[in-house]
Structure 1
Amino acid sequence: MSTCLMLGNIPFAHAASFDCDKSRTGVEKAICSDSKLSEYDERIAAAFKRALGEWNGAIRNYVRDDQRRWLAEIRRIDTPAESEIEPLCVAGDLPCLRRELQLRMDTLESSGYRNSGVYQRSDGGGNLLVTAIRNADIRLRVYDRKTSKILGSAEDEAATQRSGLPQLQRDTFQWHGPDTFLVEAADDTGTPAADGCSLTVQFTERAATVLQQGGCNGARLEGTYLRDLSDLPSNHESSVD
């Protein structure tokens, strides 16, 4: 294990090398005493290690920053008084801690994680925010600055319910290989845009190219979005939604 127990170090050790006799915090002790948490933590550590090698290591710094952000949130469970931000869980709430570790495990194990991140359109027109959910599911949000409209998401209803994130639109999407997918946009009732809105999104380690068919209710979404590996989708949660 321990992604959580070795909070000060990246990369993290696996469960076989973890010494629970040295656990100190409430989260660490919970992981040591609960088999499900131990399993999740071990899988998080393994998935994190794999993610460091995605795109031949080109997104390594992004993966590390994203993991540090998550670990900081986990730390806050044991030290709520040290931050004005509400912790993810109340100390001692085992079901909540299991849920948070499972969500992180699902994110890192998702085949879409390699394409997660913040992409800025080269003409400054907007951002493409991509968050991995689980399996091949991702949450896609396109923020058009001119019209102040958001297009998303590519996640299914089950993933929405599990993550607790709002489902902005009921879109259908289909992957074409590991790094290209098609989005047929619709509103929250499942009704497609009157003027049509189909997007093809092609990812590389450095950019995402969006091809648009249809008017998308006046939003211009097509373009090249350059990947900002120093930024995280979580930095835009409040500013976009």
Structure 2
Amino acid sequence: MRPLILIPALLLPALMLIATASRAASFDCRKASVPSEKAICADRELSGLDDQLAASYKQALGAWQGRIAEYVRADQKAWLAETRRAGLEDDDEIDNAVCDGPLTPCLRDRYRARLAAFASPAYRHSGIYLRSDGSKLLIYATGALAVRVYNKPAAIAYSSREETGGAAWASSDRMRVQLDDDSGKCTLDITLNGTEAVVSKNPGCALKGVEGRFKRDLKDVLANYELDIY
């Protein structure tokens, strides 16, 4: 018979804490090497949020029968890379951009925002869409809705965001963008199906080169662009 090993009662809480910490996050806490990872492993709430995010990410991969899984993976990779830099002291500029203040509360807020993004029905529309002539449509559909079009790689044709009343959802798969041009009001309708965006404008709109079909670029992510839309 195998001998019975007795563990002193005083050691049980500590041992349980170690066991919980090692499996509380979506990564192995024994290999945590940067401040953000250590903070996640040391904080029960953060560990729980990390577990929730792993589950939400898995669900997002299956959106539209997995048709945008490549984008979701690239988007999450970019988010994780930025989050992992939080708290690093070797680059104050990056650190301040990720977390401006105490690390643990900042990471909690960051995780909650990411969970909210995955939970939003609009997340599946967020991304970069390309037209055959090289024009680019950017749609920030989580948080504040924002839309931008580049007629050329570095030329902004139009941009609009929700706070100014310029962009709004007409339905779950269709948005309407209000713009001002020389002739007055210009209305753009954008219909989305996950892998394509179709942009049309009202007859009186004088803006050129903004309509047409834009195919989603599943390899490019919004993290590669600045959200400085006015």
TM-score (ref. length: structure 2): 0.72
Q: Secondary structure at the match of 2:94?
A: coil
Q: Are residues 21 and 232 of structure 1, via their aligned partners in 2, closer, same or farther at CA, if it must alter by over 3 Å? A: closer
Q: Secondary structure at the match of 1:112?
A: helix
Task: Return 196-205 or 224-233, whichever deviates more.
Answer: 196-205
Correspondent of 2:190 among 192, 196, 201? 201
Query: What is the RMSD of the two structures over their aligned residues, measured on CA atoms?
Result: 3.3
Contact 2:126 2:142 in 1 (8 A): no
Query: Is residue 143 of structure 1 aligned with residue 163 of structure 2?
Result: no
Paired AA for residue 182 in structure 1? R
Paired AA for residue 169 in structure 2? Q
The gaps in structure 1 that reach 5 residues or longer are 1-14, 158-168, 187-191
The Cα of 1:200 is off from its aligned counterpart by 1.6
- Structure 2 counterparts to residues 98-113 of structure 1, below 5 A: 98-113=108-123
Measure, in 1, the Cα distance between the counterparts of 2:169 and 2:140: 16
Deviations 1:12-44 (A, max 9, x none): xxx995368636343233223434423432332
Query: Is residue 173 of structure 1 aligned with residue 168 of structure 2?
Result: yes
Which structure has more RCO (C-alpha within 8 Å, separation ≥ 6)?
A: 2
Measure, in 2, the Cα distance between the counterparts of 1:121 and 1:215: 23
The Cα of 1:174 is off from its aligned counterpart by 2.8
The Cα of 1:231 is off from its aligned counterpart by 0.9
Deviations 1:39-91 (A, max 9, x none): 4323322221111001211111111111111111111125452x696121269
Correspondent of 1:120 among 130, 134, 151? 130
Measure, in 2, the Cα distance between the counterparts of 1:30 and 1:214: 55
The percent of aligned pairs where both chains have the same amino acid is 34
Query: Is residue 60 of structure 1 aligned with residue 69 of structure 2?
Result: yes
Query: Is residue 222 of structure 1 aligned with residue 211 of structure 2?
Result: yes
Paired AA for residue 175 in structure 1? A
* Higher helix proportion: 2
Instruction: Give 2:9's aligned residue.
Output: none
Q: Secondary structure at the match of 1:140?
A: strand
Q: How many residues align?
A: 204
Q: Are residues 92 and 54 of structure 1, via their aligned partners in 2, closer, same or farther at CA, if it must alter by over 3 Å? A: same
Measure, in 2, the Cα distance between the counterparts of 1:99 and 1:66: 18
Greater Rg, structure 1 or structure 2? 2
Instruction: Give 1:236's aligned residue.
Output: 225
Measure, in 1, the Cα distance between the counterparts of 2:31 and 2:167: 45
The gaps in structure 2 that reach 5 residues or longer are 1-20
Instruction: Give 2:38's aligned residue.
Output: 29
Q: Are residues 239 and 183 of structure 1, via their aligned partners in 2, closer, same or farther at CA, if it must alter by over 3 Å? A: closer
Q: Secondary structure at the match of 1:122?
A: coil
The Cα of 1:140 is off from its aligned counterpart by 1.9
Query: Is residue 213 of structure 1 aligned with residue 207 of structure 2?
Result: no
Q: Are residues 215 and 232 of structure 1, via their aligned partners in 2, closer, same or farther at CA, if it must alter by over 3 Å? A: farther
Measure, in 2, the Cα distance between the counterparts of 1:196 and 1:148: 18
Deviations 1:102-123 (A, max 9, x none): 2222222221111111101223
Q: Secondary structure at the match of 2:189?
A: strand
